[in-house]
Homo-oligomer: A and B are copies of this chain.
Amino acid sequence: MEVPTIDDIRAAAKRIAPYAHRTPVLTSATLDRMTGAHLYFKCESFQRVGAFKFRGAANAVFSLSDGEAKNGVATHSSGNHAQALSLAAWMRGVPAYVVMPSNSPEVKQAAVREYGGKIVHCKPTLKDREETLQRVVAETGAHFVHAYDDQRVIAGQGTVALELLDERPDLDVIIVSVGGGGLISGTSLVARAHSPLLRVIGAEPEGADDAFRSLRDNVLYGAKDHKSIADGLLTALSERTFSIIRQGVQKIVLVDESLIVYALRTMFTRMKLVVEPSGAVPLAAMLSGKLTELGGRKVGLIISGGNIDPRTLAQLIES
């Protein structure tokens, strides 16, 4: 089980620089007042395909040799990783095969096609999804790129924190949402190399609390019955991401659904940011009253993405 080093992450930053955006770090006097801390929002909502996932996907695709890359890449995902891998493959000039349940929302399928991905339908079961992926890989020779259980992907996601710390080397803590754990793993590896004083705190919806429980009980739990508006965070950790998190993450804070919506709405009205529910989870943690020890501290928050359909956003904001 390979884990990236800080050098791998620095190499990833160089590798993806021609393709990925360097995203801005924004601040808000209003939110500083509301939380009593100094907040620095690293806005991956402005990343290509609207989410940090492009970094990991691009690092994986451009890490391949020409021989490995020529038959393309494949994944199973119906979220941001599918779009990210499709765009990265298109940039490299190779195909991307995306296995998706045939009942996936049309808007998600359209997004993958728009970035040049080829959709392969499967039945909406875990078993058929994995069998379909294996078949695609066998038939096409495509290279499988997992959404987070992949050291190249984790290294790519780590470049978010590299950029944030390059701009704000004096942060006391970085708060990151936890889904499969790719982003927080990369963040934690960068933080440990940056300073022994820099802490990493995870933020997770109550309805998808596998990482919280896994860290508490030192047992890797699955994603059974996960349910949250933060649909990017419904996946569970892998052995790899769990092992990294155990070493580098000090704490995971749970937030309830109403707090996620409140955070999303606040970022919209006060910061003019369009964020998806998952992207609002770190701010929800700051607003939860569970992090009062951060009063007066410099806190980085990674805003993971901005892919939310306008109708849903409108409903959440008016709710």
The reply to whether the CB of A21 lies closer than 8 angstroms to some CB of chain B is yes
Residues in A229-286 with C-beta less than 8 Å from chain B? 265, 268-269, 271-275
Residues in A1-38 with C-beta less than 8 Å from chain B? 21, 24, 26-27, 29
Partner of A272, one of B26, B27, B274, B314: B274
Residues in A44-60 with C-beta less than 8 Å from chain B? 45-46, 48, 50
Q: Which chain B positions have C-beta within 8 A of A310?
A: 265, 268-269, 314, 317-318
The reply to whether the CB of A127 lies closer than 8 angstroms to some CB of chain B is no
| Identical copies of this chain, number | 2
Q: Which chain B positions have C-beta within 8 A of A313?
A: 314
Cβ–Cβ contact B314 & A45, under 8 A: no
- Which 8 A-B residue pairings sit nearest by Cβ, starting from the closest? A314-B314, A24-B24, A272-B306, A272-B274, A310-B317, A45-B272, A26-B46, A50-B272
Cα separation A50 to B269 with both chains bound (whole Å): 10
Among A24, A27, A275, find the residue whose CB has the most chain B CB atoms closer than 10 A.
A24
A21 to chain B, nearest CB (A): 7
Q: Which chain B positions have C-beta within 8 A of A268?
A: 274, 310
Binary flags per residue of A286-319, CB closer than 8 Å to B gives 1, else 0: 0000000000000000000010001101100110
Q: What are 15 sample pairs from A and B whose C-beta atoms fall under 8 A apart?
A: A24-B24, A29-B48, A46-B271, A46-B272, A50-B272, A268-B310, A269-B310, A272-B273, A272-B275, A272-B306, A274-B274, A310-B314, A310-B317, A311-B314, A314-B317
Q: Which chain B positions have C-beta within 8 A of A29?
A: 48
A46 to chain B, nearest CB (A): 6
- By beta carbon, the residue of chain B nearest A303 is B272
Q: Which chain B positions have C-beta within 8 A of A24?
A: 24, 26, 46
A105 to chain B, nearest CB (A): 16
Cα separation A310 to B26 with both chains bound (whole Å): 21
